Structure 1
Amino acid sequence: MNFVAMDFETANHEKHSAVSVAIAVVRDSQVVDKFYSLIKPETYFSSRNVAINGIHEQDVANAPKFPEVWDKISPLFTEDKLIVAHNATFDNSVLKGTLAYYGIEEPHYMLLDTVRSSRRLFPNFENHKLNTVTSNLGIVLAHHHNALDDAVAAANILIYEAHHFGEDQLKTFVKKK
């Protein structure tokens, strides 16, 4: 199984307020590469988001703006590439909102949401939050709401699901973007 898992953290509710992004590259069902970057957004920081992800305005004062980060990760977002996220609706909306904010053309790729797959494959879990799913599956999630830890956890959830249910079953959860 080959795919890329992504995760964003944001400064506030605005879709272009990414303050960090992480990528976990999976080849042959193994995480083989990781990327993490802080991002300096062109917006304000809400105390709610800071409380969730721990990223303050001063933490990103010298960080690159999104276009610089996108230059590094955009080659991973192609029509034949599967992109995975836990709560992909959120992460994909941050990506799309940030691309739109900077006038960058939106890429086309395949998207799979591990919240959605987990709801279907593990209906008896109390809920399907990232920390709940990882705990139930015995997957390590060191720091929830750290983009890199969250991306790796999402990758490991999909690897677990593929191993236990088969890749063909997971294809039903893929959407083209």
Structure 2
Amino acid sequence: MGLDFVAIDFETANSSRASACAVGLAVVEGGLVTAQQGWLIRPPASACRFERRNIAIHGITAADCAARGLTWTETARRLEAMTDGRVAVAHNAPFDRSVWAAANAESGIATGTAPFVCTLDLARRAFPHLHRPLPNYKLDTVAMALALPAFHHHDAEDDAVTAAMIVIELARRVGRDDMAQLWPGGPTPPVTSPGRCTGARS
């Protein structure tokens, strides 16, 4: 299987998981980041309210998405194409997986998400053997502990690239070069409905 995957990060406009307003992706092939991209999204109409709390986190406004955002339908098409046959990776994967599924459901899109694995889970399992326990396992805390390059937290593309680099670096440190070795339980299967997601955004 090797270290082949697509790291994904979503930002949302409000507390609704359907309110995706930005996405970032980083494609990893053979343990190397070979492509990255990100774009703004116009959230589905039923979830398009931008709350001040969310804007304070990521800096994205309704005007930004109206001017430059893609529709969710186009976003879903791109996500499906980029993850075809690949596992998706995210930091706190239940959040990003549920955003994708909820936005699909709100937009009447029947296709499912990619199967997901979680770098938050990987870091929690790996760090007791590599390093003293961390105060938390948020993306920026894990990246700093691994001495990864500085990045703009809550910029979706930067976050996706950093999640990808966490997998690559942890795999190197624990001597694994295969996704199945890092996540022996396998990925969470694709979903076609929002379901119930636990855990806060990290």
Q: What range describes the TM-score normalised by the shorter chain of this pair? A: over 0.9
The alpha carbon displacement at 1:108 in A equals 5.4
Give the partner amino acid of 1:77. T
1: CA distance between counterparts of 2:186 and 2:36?
22
Alignment of 1:26-175 (within 5 A): 26-41=28-43, 42=45, 43-62=48-67, 63-78=69-84, 80-107=85-112, 109-123=114-128, 124-165=133-174, 166=176, 167=178, 168-172=180-184, 174-175=186-187
Quote the offset at 1:109 in angstroms.
3.4
SS at match of 1:174: coil
Q: 1:173 to 1:113 in 2, by over 3 A?
A: farther
Q: CA deviation at 1:72?
A: 2.1
What letter corresponds to residue 29 of structure 1 in structure 2?
G
1:14 alignment partner, SS class: coil
Change (3 A) 1:72 1:110: closer
Task: Please say if residues 67 and 102 of structure 1, whose CA atoms lie closer than 8 Å, have aligned partners that are also in contact.
Answer: yes
Identity rate of aligned residues, in percent?
38
CA shift, 1:64, in A, is 1.8
For structure 1, the 5+ residue unaligned runs are none
Instruction: Give the alignment's Cα RMSD to 1 decimal.
Output: 1.4
Per the alignment, residue 16 of structure 2 pairs with: 14
Q: Is the 1:25–1:33 contact (alpha carbons within 8 Å) kept by the matching residues of 2? A: yes
Question: What CA distance in whole angstroms lies between the structure 1 residues aligned with 2:19 and 2:25?
Answer: 18
* Count of residue correspondences: 176
Code of the residue aligned with 2:98 in structure 1: it is S
Please list the CA deviations of residues 106-125 of structure 1 after superposition, one character each: whole Å capped at 9, or x if unmatched. Answer: 32533110001100111311
Report Cα offsets for 1:40-67 as digits up to 9, x if no partner.
1122001000000110111111222111
Question: Could you list the runs of 4 or more consecutive aligned residues of structure 1 that deviate by over 4 angstroms after TM superposition?
Answer: none
Contact 2:28-2:164 within 8 A present in 1 as well: yes
Q: Which amino acid in structure 1 is aligned with residue 88 of structure 2? A: I
